[in-house]
Structure 1
């Protein structure tokens, strides 16, 4: 099939690449075609961050910067964007960028293999926070470096470097010049369907996407490629044709309505989680534990939902919240509860000509007179009439950060006079699909919320699901954890604090 030319801005200049296969990764193009070997390949699956680069796109008159993993990013997906690699940061005279200089001064590099990735994550932090006058706290640095692993330094000097960047001479990008070039570049882009034989289709409007999906039902749909990228790097999959949804303008929006928020399928996990956390702040810590920041910056909520992995963290929460998924095709649209979207292991009801359009998440029923307790904090005592909704999302994994769940459990409860008026429980890692715990919900709905009720719900979870044993956990462990998490939920509703790691806050360390 015909291959589209990839065009992007690097070092302020246009880069144009032709004859790039649809499954070729950005890392391969950088290292093998552009000789940008500073970007390293470590894991090849988006876990270690050695391949981190920074992309930027126009956003309300300025550039929006995102650190992403080049190893699992398809090269064609950066068409029309600006790109920075570690080679692009130093000045023309060799003066190091603050992200580089801070690493030198803080002795943040030893073997050096992971260093380019750390520097690029620091560069993204510099653009998004330092240049906007925001302080880089220890906690922020830890969060934004969550996708970068180091085996040598123990992280302290790297965190020191993150905080030291603001004290160095200021370095700014010529954003207006880059914005003008991106505008010119995107104005010259041909429609995605200009050639029906194109191997990489990237429609920019919803009608165009639906038309192309109907015409090419066998094309591999991609969004952020945080899972499909592994099919390429680990399974050596090749695709005759790819349909990329991430440039569809209508699906890149988060839309607020009176009773729900609609998150487009092309909205990044970072933006989607921010929208949900704005309504329910107690979820912020859970969202930070979803992979690392580069994965959240690239992956989309729609892609995570459509993927249907039984250990995907977003689906149990969305199910507990009562989310619906909207499916689109040239024939029209249909909407269904998210738990009804899945029919088997990585299998869904999606027809060959359909795509996931939006995820609709109900808002909290009514405003709360004060902030709900944060995860691990008890607030002012037991939850009763003062709380219209009590919500927790629990992630159990071998590593606290940047790991896949062994068990994920989300519980949303609304009480009225101590009676469970409404209940939603979503679970992951315990069945072939993300599931709703209907039996456990039935054991609670309409009954007083007591210690005995929590025990009944725990027992119902144990009988409702029969998890398997695998490399992440045994079946017995998963079953026990489900029961324990219900007990934790009960304790937290009664005001118990500091009973899980989410209550831990990294102490600020003053720089000398």
Structure 2
């Protein structure tokens, strides 16, 4: 289906030159292209769903100031046309046998590889980390290195020598990637018309303005709206679904904007998860651990907060935080906007208040004042890069020791992310003391009838939800009060 007349090839920078692709289905993944067309087989296929990191590559693009930004992403879930106007770097680009990069040399020196299957992915994540810190003139801690490598799995080497290599690469003489040819190529690509790519396997539109996106979305409401592809990519990889028409939001600069507005934040729907969470944690610092444990860096670099919200999964970690902050979702259809509280956007399991031809334009997040206490927790079997059994963001507004407002938001407890209305009612207007917190916890069974699945039993989920409310109470006390309370409980 050709929707517009300016059909052209996909154009991107790879292996030192601008590459054109015009003969592949639009759902061809970057990984498939690398291994089957470009003969760049250093990039491996492991899980094909963005969990293992064997397929990690670096994607480059120019920011609003014209500076080159390099971020590691998973090649297995990214569709090739999303590279249009961008740069693709693989392990072949960072160094060779006679000219190893600092990351590659450190992996050799620290014995960071055994079978080697995962090694290229680690090298690419380490290279992205190296480039970022060298540009900023900083050096990561060992924990920061571990956080950067949270999306890369190794089953035989063990992480100690790999982290040793991550530290060692900063001890060698600095040697960064040559950014000049990449920047020059991307500036040349900026002159291209918006991408309309057509193939027998379907078509791919990448508008560059909100009005153009709105027109396409309203004209073709049955088309699949594609953002970061971290979920939709699995529809193809794992479910073998046909996607005949894709409309991509990732080239609409206005949708990627994050700005201060009305004392809070405007987060465009196509802003990356990484950028959005960085802004949210400035607004509410207690969300920082939830940010670090939200998926992995490669997923956060590609995925978008708008896509996470639009997905509507009851175990998504974005909605609990935004609902607890009192966020609104900004919806658009054609030239018309409408707003509603995010909690009202979710109607039932995977059902949203979204009309045909309508899309999420942004999230509006108010800034909490100092009277709000916010506690965020992700409970999962694995610490990094795992799906939540329970995600809870608990917000409490206190004045003179009395609860004015409460937003107790849970994911993983129902068919949708939702507030615990009975638990909230148990605390509003009450003094914030231990018995009030306990009353809220005891009200949770009226709010939730959780399921038992592979992640947790219903009883476990209710117990966790109960304990997190008690933890909120403990976190709201000063250290001296907590010590007295614990001593009294032990004496009893």
Under TM normalisation by the shorter chain, which class is it? over 0.9
User: Which position in structure 1 is the counterpart of 2:69?
Assistant: 64
User: Which position in structure 1 is the counterpart of 2:157?
Assistant: 153
For residues 27-86 of structure 1, what are the alpha-carbon distances to aligned partners after superposition, in whole Å with 9 as ceiling and x for unaligned? 111111111111111111111100000001112232111100111111111111011111
User: Which position in structure 1 is the counterpart of 2:83?
Assistant: 78
**Residues 193 and 212 in structure 1, CA contact (< 8 A), matched pair in contact too:** no
1:183 aligns with 2:166: no
**Residues 133 and 140 in structure 2, CA contact (< 8 A), matched pair in contact too:** yes
User: Which position in structure 2 is the counterpart of 1:247?
Assistant: 251
User: Which position in structure 2 is the counterpart of 1:139?
Assistant: 143
User: Which position in structure 1 is the counterpart of 2:299?
Assistant: 295
* SS class of match (2:431): coil
Instruction: Decide which of 456, 464, 467 is 1:481's aligned counterpart.
Output: 464
Instruction: Decide which of 119, 126, 132 is 1:122's aligned counterpart.
Output: 126
For residues 244-275 of structure 1, what are the alpha-carbon distances to aligned partners after superposition, in whole Å with 9 as ceiling and x for unaligned? 11111110100102322010000000000000
Report the count of equivalent residues: 475
1:364 aligns with 2:368: yes
* SS class of match (2:432): coil
Return closer, same or farther for 1:194/1:33 CA change in 2, 3 Å cut-off: closer
Q: TM-score, normalised by structure 1?
A: 0.90
**Residues 194 and 207 in structure 2, CA contact (< 8 A), matched pair in contact too:** no
RMSD over aligned Cα atoms: 1.9
User: Which position in structure 1 is the counterpart of 2:486?
Assistant: none
1:281 aligns with 2:285: yes
User: Which position in structure 1 is the counterpart of 2:261?
Assistant: 257
User: Which position in structure 2 is the counterpart of 1:460?
Assistant: 443
* SS class of match (1:166): coil
Unaligned residue ranges in structure 1 (runs of 5+): 369-387, 500-512
**Residues 210 and 252 in structure 2, CA contact (< 8 A), matched pair in contact too:** yes
Query: 1:328: how far off?
Result: 0.5
Instruction: Decide which of 202, 213, 219 is 1:215's aligned counterpart.
Output: 219
**Residues 230 and 299 in structure 2, CA contact (< 8 A), matched pair in contact too:** yes
Query: 1:153: how far off?
Result: 1.9
Cα distance in 2 between the residues matched to 1:193 and 1:136: 41
**Residues 267 and 301 in structure 1, CA contact (< 8 A), matched pair in contact too:** yes
User: Which position in structure 2 is the counterpart of 1:391?
Assistant: 374
Q: TM-score, normalised by structure 2?
A: 0.93
Cα distance in 2 between the residues matched to 1:212 and 1:469: 41
Cα distance in 2 between the residues matched to 1:209 and 1:337: 23
User: Which position in structure 1 is the counterpart of 2:329?
Assistant: 325
Cα distance in 2 between the residues matched to 1:243 and 1:269: 19
Cα distance in 1 between the residues matched to 2:263 and 2:406: 18
Mapping of residues 11-22 of structure 1, within 5 Å: 11-22=15-26
* SS class of match (1:350): coil
For residues 84-138 of structure 1, what are the alpha-carbon distances to aligned partners after superposition, in whole Å with 9 as ceiling and x for unaligned? 11111116x8310111111111110011111110000001001111343111210
Query: 1:331: how far off?
Result: 4.6
Q: Which moved more, 1:129-138 or 1:205-214?
A: 129-138
Cα distance in 2 between the residues matched to 1:221 and 1:252: 15
User: Which position in structure 2 is the counterpart of 1:435?
Assistant: 418
**Residues 214 and 335 in structure 2, CA contact (< 8 A), matched pair in contact too:** no
Query: 1:215: how far off?
Result: 1.1
Cα distance in 1 between the residues matched to 2:444 and 2:230: 31
